[in-house]
Amino acid sequence: MSVNLLDARGTPLDQQRFTWRDLVQDPISKLDDDAFTRVRIILANGLEQQANRFQHMCSQMNKELREPLAMIRRVEHHQQTMINWLLSSDHSPIETTIGYEQVAIEVTAAIAQQEPDPYLAQVYRFGLLEDFDHMYRYSALLDRVEGKDANNILQSYTDIVPGRPTVDEHRHPTDDLRDHYDRKTAAPVSKMNALTIMSGEYQTRDYYMNIGPTFSDPVARQLYAEIASIEEQHVTQYGSIIDPDETMLEKWLLYEANEAYNYYSLLESETNPRIKAIWERFLEYELGHLDVVKNLFKKYERRDPAEILPEALPTPIPFESQRDFVRKTLEEEINLRANGTQFVDKSEESKASLDYRNHINSEGSPSEAVSAGYQWAPGTELARKSS
């Protein structure tokens, strides 16, 4: 299947409608559905949430666009609802968290490999090793608080071992900023990749901020506070690779094109036919949004959308285990740290980051405490002990 972004009209906006029954469908099965179906759902939720957030911000800064923004944004909101409500009620918040980190690992690893710009690919690999470590800490939490095996969620696609230790990920804010791509020369796929990963990280931050206080256990409350802070750093990092000189409509075009690109990727790999039908429907919706924004772009900027958009969508994002790539990255780059916008050896960290970290960890480290001596074993750590 191929999609032409420049010609496609998609579903007309006035036909993008929902009912409550339609919005709230049967959820997936935590036990029987493939883990990558959950991964795709979580990723799509993040993209819709970010599309909605971006469009709200635009509306705060532009009067002319308020009406079309309001109309498209309502659809983005309802798309997010339908998608997020696919997660079933038997996921405990920590189990859903395991799903979120699986998204961060598998999708970031896939994108790091298809990213043509070497600096941006390095940025993704850098973030990847941090989310990879979160998986290890949260798996320990799930095991030691709820007595459950994180691999029931991961289905053996994703490793549970330490990455760059979370305790070392805390950096001074200025060491989380990166150089941005150049809007004039960057490949369209680079721009879209940045939006995908930033959206995923932003929803992860928000999710942890929402569920953190629902825990009774002080260890869980502290761990969510700690890892939410890293996700905030990740949003800073991935937000800063985006060129700030893009015009608002240029950004909007890219957002809609990226939503289309992601739904196209999701439907290419989806194994659950019921969920696949949703991806197909929403691909057409996004092409409908894109059509509206292309016309706005022509009207207000008097430019051709072809200046910004590629004709064909890039190769779909693969949704499969990236174990080998992650292990190789782990081996080669675990000692990388960030100093300003550059990546350096851990001996060359900035004083600002060292000071920041020393202070924030000075009353103890939740991520170290929760995982001391933790090693994943099939059936939990308790199964390992007795064997």
Partner 1 sequence: MEKSTQLGMNRTGADMSPIHSKAMLKGQSLFKVGPIDSTGMAAIRSSYVQLKEPVGSVPLPGTFKGVLTSGKEKMTGHNPEVLINKLGERLAFERSGVRLYDALIMKIEADKADEGKDIVSINLLKQFREEEYEHFLMVKEVMESVGADPTAQTPDADVAGLAALGIQKVMTEPRTSLSQCLEALLTAEMTDNGAWELLVELCEEMGLDDTSAEFRRALAQEEKHLEQIKSWVRQLTMGQAEKAL
> Would you tell me which residues interact with partner 1 (CB under 8 A)?
26-27, 30-35, 88-90, 144, 151-153, 155-157, 159-162, 216-219, 222, 321, 323, 327, 364-366, 368-370, 372-379, 381, 385
CB of 317 to partner 1, least distance (A): 20
Interface residue with Fe ion among 40, 73, 134, 357 (CB under 5 A) is 134
Site for Fe ion in 183-242 (CB under 5 A): 201, 231, 234
Both tokens of residue 329?
């990255």
Size of the site for Fe ion (CB under 5 A): 14
Site for Fe ion in 99-118 (CB under 5 A): 104
Partner from partner 1, Fe ion, none binding residue 134, C-beta < 5-8 Å depending on class: Fe ion
Q: Rounded to the nearest 5°, which phi and psi values hold at 19?
A: -120, 170
Nearer Cβ to Fe ion (137/357): 137
CB of 211 to partner 1, least distance (A): 14
- CB contact at 8 A, 303 and 297: yes
Q: Rounded to the nearest 5°, which phi and psi values hold at 367?
A: -70, -30
Nearer Cβ to Fe ion (215/379): 215
CB of 285 to partner 1, least distance (A): 27
Round to whole Å and give the CA distance between 247 and 357. 36
Partner from partner 1, Fe ion, none binding residue 259, C-beta < 5-8 Å depending on class: Fe ion
Positive or negative, the CA dihedral 171, 203, 76, 67 is: negative
CB of 89 to Fe ion, least distance (A): 24
Which long-range contacts (C-beta less than 8 Å, at least 24 apart) are formed by 51-56?
51/76, 51/199, 51/255, 51/256, 51/259, 52/76, 52/77, 52/80, 53/202, 54/251, 54/252, 54/255, 55/252
Q: Residue 17 in 3-state DSSP?
A: coil
Nearer Cβ to Fe ion (224/379): 224
Partner from Fe ion, partner 1, none binding residue 291, C-beta < 5-8 Å depending on class: none
Helix axes 35-61, 93-114, angle to 10 degrees: 80
Nearer Cβ to partner 1 (15/156): 156
In the block, which residue shows the tokens 């690919």?
121
Round to whole Å and give the CA distance between 17 and 28. 22
Round to whole Å and give the CA distance between 216 and 221. 7
CB of 104 to partner 1, least distance (A): 18
Partner from Fe ion, partner 1, none binding residue 234, C-beta < 5-8 Å depending on class: Fe ion
Residue 289 contacts Fe ion per CB under 5 A: yes
Round to whole Å and give the CA distance between 263 and 107. 14
Residue 131 contacts Fe ion per CB under 5 A: yes
Partner from Fe ion, partner 1, none binding residue 96, C-beta < 5-8 Å depending on class: none
Q: Residue 182 in 3-state DSSP?
A: coil
Q: Supply the Cα-derived Rg of the chain in whole angstroms.
A: 21
Residue 259 contacts Fe ion per CB under 5 A: yes
Partner from Fe ion, partner 1, none binding residue 131, C-beta < 5-8 Å depending on class: Fe ion
Residue 76 contacts Fe ion per CB under 5 A: yes
Nearer Cβ to partner 1 (11/272): 272
Nearer Cβ to partner 1 (90/307): 90
Nearer Cβ to partner 1 (80/151): 151
Nearer Cβ to partner 1 (120/140): 140
Residue 176 contacts Fe ion per CB under 5 A: no
Round to whole Å and give the CA distance between 55 and 328. 38
Facing residues of 345 across strands? 336
- CB contact at 8 A, 102 and 204: no
Nearer Cβ to partner 1 (244/373): 373
Q: What is the DSSP letter of 142?
A: I
Contact footprint for Fe ion (CB under 5 A): 48, 51, 76, 79, 104, 131, 134, 201, 231, 234, 256, 259, 286, 289
